[in-house]
Amino acid sequence: MRCMKPIKKLISGVVSAVMLLSGIYAFPADAAQEQETKLIALTFDDGPNTTTTNEVLDLLEEYDAKASFFLIGVNINEESAVSVKRAYDMGCEIDNHSKTHSYMSDMSAEELQAEISYVDDYVYEITGEHTKFFRPPFIAVSDSMYDAIDLPFICGIGCEDFMDSVTAEQRAETVISSAKDGVIILMHDAAGNSQTVEALKTILPELKSQGYEFVTLTELFARQGETPKSHLLYSQVAKYPCSDYELFQKLSDDTAQENIALDKEVLKSLGDNYAIEVDYSGTDVPPVVALQKWSGDPPVWKAIQPFYSNGDKACFLASDILPALEELAMTYDDLDAIRISPYGNTIALTNAKILTKSAGETLSGDVNLDGEFNTVDIIALVKWLHHSEPLANWKAADLNHDQQLNIYDFILMKKQLL
């Protein structure tokens, strides 16, 4: 809550004095923890064989990378089994892509289980372990498949490397531009797919230089703190991003809604210091945050996918919403509405809330969260009092602990700095 009385005259006299304090001591916070490694899961479909599979393994071995291989049962034979065993011995994971690579959505439960068990039995014979994940051929799924196949379903972000017309450079560019922590990449090690082998010669060193670690799917789920769920098709396994956030505002209770409106002014006031969290049910496709402007020509409906979703809960970060506004060349004020919405599905939304980053153990007075309390923080508070710029950490400025910011907090901050 802002001070209601005009304070411009007082502030204008103080700002000059504040600017003279640039030599005052700063109080550095503890050093930031070392940034965690980003995880990415490379996956390969349509093997095994004795040519391309081994060429992929050569490159994985060169860059100390692990991957997950989704096998087609009819491709497993005495010769290709050697490649499977090599991949397993390197620490790679061997997974299931069905026996015949047929459309499976209309198969009976018995037919579905036969497709899976054929591959699973072969893999167990080669490695001593069962397959842990399933990728449906052609990414075609149905409720009957989810019910009959007792494995987590994996999709992934593809680079169209099953098409000869897509060059190695285009494949590499798509994978590298799609990379982020927790992403699953879908490629193919089918016999003769030399352009994917060439693409990997760019992908592996480039992503490694960007700090990515190449892990199996099992390791990806474990290290991201997620347990695979049934009736979900995974392309990303993000780590829950809001563990250091706290409740700012409840938007709904446990009463199911199809859409939940967001207040543009509230989001604007929070800058990049917020996240939106919502529980959902009724579909395996998570909701989106929709940016809407129906008064324009043409109208705008921009869907922002959640940074995190696990089949029950979705989290949207300001760091995804703000770039979407920039891409549209818009601000919050230009929108007619912003809301949490289904994405072409029937969905029940409950327990929506706005979260803000917790101040945690930050310094008293460190309103810009740069780890120091100095004149920059006082100037930031002055600008906030002038209604011109938001504060990253308003609680650090509430020195008289009355849950509101005003000129008295400014005076206490100045006194504390001196």
Given the candidates 3.40.50.720, 2.40.10.10, 2.60.40.10, 2.60.120.1070, the CATH classification of the domain at 245-357 is 2.60.120.1070
Q: Which of 97, 161, 188, 189 is catalytic?
A: 188
45 catalytic residue (yes or no): yes
- Fold for the domain defined by 8-30+363-417: Type 1 dockerin domain (1.10.1330)
Contact 400, 413 (CB under 8 A): no
pLDDT tens per residue across all 418 residues of the chain: 333 333 344 344 444 443 333 333 333 333 333 346 899 999 999 999 999 999 999 999 999 999 999 999 999 999 999 999 999 999 999 999 999 999 999 999 999 999 999 999 999 999 999 999 999 999 999 999 999 999 999 999 999 999 999 999 999 999 999 999 999 999 999 999 999 999 999 999 999 999 999 999 999 999 999 999 989 999 999 999 999 899 999 999 999 999 999 999 999 999 999 999 999 998 888 999 999 999 878 899 999 999 999 999 999 999 999 999 999 999 999 999 999 999 877 899 999 999 998 765 557 777 777 777 888 878 888 877 776 566 777 777 777 666 667 777 778 778 777 7
Q: What is the spatial distance between Cα 270 and Cα 358, in angstroms, rounded to a whole number?
A: 13
Q: What is the spatial distance between Cα 57 and Cα 189, in angstroms, rounded to a whole number?
A: 10
Helical spans, DSSP H, in 91-227: 109-127, 143-148, 168-178, 194-209, 217-224
Residue spans per domain, the chain? 8-30+363-417, 38-234, 245-357
How would you label 106-129 residue by residue, b for 16+ Cβ within 10 Å and e otherwise?
Answer: ebeeeebeebbbbbbebbeebbee
- Partner residues linked to 249 by β-bridges: 354
Alpha carbon 401 to chain centroid distance?
36
Look up residue 84 and give its two tokens: 């499977």
Name 237's Cβ contacts closer than 8 Å, sequence gap at least 6. 41, 182, 184, 220, 221, 224, 226
Name 49's Cβ contacts closer than 8 Å, sequence gap at least 6. 75, 80, 83, 189, 190, 191
Given the candidates 3.30.429.10, 3.40.50.620, 3.20.20.370, 3.30.2010.30, the CATH classification of the domain at 38-234 is 3.20.20.370
Other residues' Cβ atoms within 10 Å of the Cβ of residue 320: 16
